[in-house]
Amino acid sequence: MGHVPSMTVVDLDAAIGFVVKKGDPVDRARLSYLRTGVVPADDVISAMEAGQLPSGGWPTSQRGKVASIDVTCFRLDQLDDLGALGRPAAQRALDWLGGRQAPDGSWQEAKELAAEAPEWAQPGDPEATLYLTANATFWLTVFGLDFRATLPYGDDTPIPYADTTARGAEFIKNSLNSDGTWPSYLMTGWLGAAVMYRQDMFYEAARMQSVLGERLPRMAPVDAAAMAASMRRVGVSADDWTMIAAKKRLAETQRTDGGWDSEQGEAFDVHLTLNVIRAIR
């Protein structure tokens, strides 16, 4: 399965065909929602919500007893692709996330998760703290954005988690280096830039997007897709130069079978392809 040579536009039909052929029922439900906006059957969403702890978060394993910020954000990402952020399970998860914010505006995993948390989510690690802060703030911001969209024009109903997201954004802003880089992982950059954009911190958002743009020509497809999907989710224009550069990178790396190489196996290739569709639909 070679790559499409010299492509400048993603072949969306081929990407859709790849998901239909290689994806499981949940993948195809995600595809259907992304394409049509039709929420899938309740049993599909319920399966994705399974394992939620009474606290509202999800653990790192089926038998886990301690909720993880990283895993909970991942579940919210999956539920978002099914149009399920407004359901009670997602609401409990968002409330739990909001309640886990530290006084300085940051998030960290519980100390009890040190032995099972991945490198990028280790409790007490500054890089992990900034990543988790960007991730949690991003999802609370996304819900606030969706809530705002349901209000009539001029309605001044308070937006859920507004104070929480403002504190999270301030923590991210204060963590940036003078050149717009950030002392954390690449994924922290696009989550943080999305948060900055929605908080009207346009100077910081632009600096972070500039750094991301410089890295795009060499960025792995999985990162380019996640970056573009995150930025589009908070309303960054498809005509923004970083979005155009991301689509170019994704067009260059699309395979002849319509999918992309996640470097983690076929199931992850499908997830990556869905992220591309989410980013450019």
90-114 residue pLDDT tens? 999 999 999 999 999 999 999 999 9
Token pair in block for residue 236: 């960054």
With bands split at pLDDT 50, 70 and 90, how would you rate the model's confidence at 7? low
Measured distance CA(160)–CA(145) in Å, rounded: 9
Q: Please compute the mean of the pLDDT values over residues 38-56 and round it to a whole number.
A: 94
Beta carbons within 8 Å of 144's beta carbon, 6+ residues apart: 159, 160, 161, 162, 165
201, pLDDT greater than 50: yes
Q: Please compute the mean of the pLDDT values over residues 29-52 and round it to a whole number.
A: 94
Measured distance CA(85)–CA(75) in Å, rounded: 10
Long-range contacts of 9-15 (CB under 8 A, 24+ apart): 9/247, 9/251, 10/247, 10/250, 10/251, 10/254, 10/276, 10/280, 11/254, 11/258, 12/277, 12/280, 12/281, 13/258, 14/254, 14/257, 14/258, 15/254, 15/258, 15/259, 15/273, 15/276, 15/277
- In this structure, is the dihedral angle defined by the CA atoms of residues 39, 41, 44 and 45, taken in order, positive or negative? positive
pTM of this structure = 0.94
Token pair in block for residue 149: 């969209």
DSSP H or E segment with residue 17:
helix 12-22
Token pair in block for residue 87: 């359901």
pLDDT: is 231 or 3 the higher one?
231
pLDDT mean across residues, the chain: 94
With bands split at pLDDT 50, 70 and 90, how would you rate the model's confidence at 62? confident
Measured distance CA(124)–CA(57) in Å, rounded: 20
Q: Please compute the mean of the pLDDT values over residues 124-132 and round it to a whole number.
A: 97
Triad 82, 83, 85: Cα angle to 5°: 110
pLDDT: is 226 or 5 the higher one?
226
Q: Please compute the mean of the pLDDT values over residues 180-194 and round it to a whole number.
A: 97
Burial class (CB in 10 A: 0-12, 13-18, 19+), 78: middle
Q: Please compute the mean of the pLDDT values over residues 167-196 and round it to a whole number.
A: 97
Largest CA distance in the chain: 53
Tell which residue, 43, 35, 34, 146, has the closest CA to residue 94: 146
Q: Please compute the mean of the pLDDT values over residues 13-37 and round it to a whole number.
A: 95
Q: Compute how many other C-beta atoms are within 10 angstroms of the C-beta atom of residue 11.
A: 16
According to the model, what pLDDT value does residue 89 have?
A: 98
Strand pairing class (67-68; 58-59): antiparallel
* Percent of residues, the chain, with pLDDT higher than 70: 98
Q: Please compute the mean of the pLDDT values over residues 224-250 and round it to a whole number.
A: 95
51, pLDDT greater than 70: yes
230, pLDDT greater than 70: yes
Tell which residue, 266, 245, 263, 256, has the closest CA to residue 280: 245
According to the model, what pLDDT value does residue 8 have?
A: 74
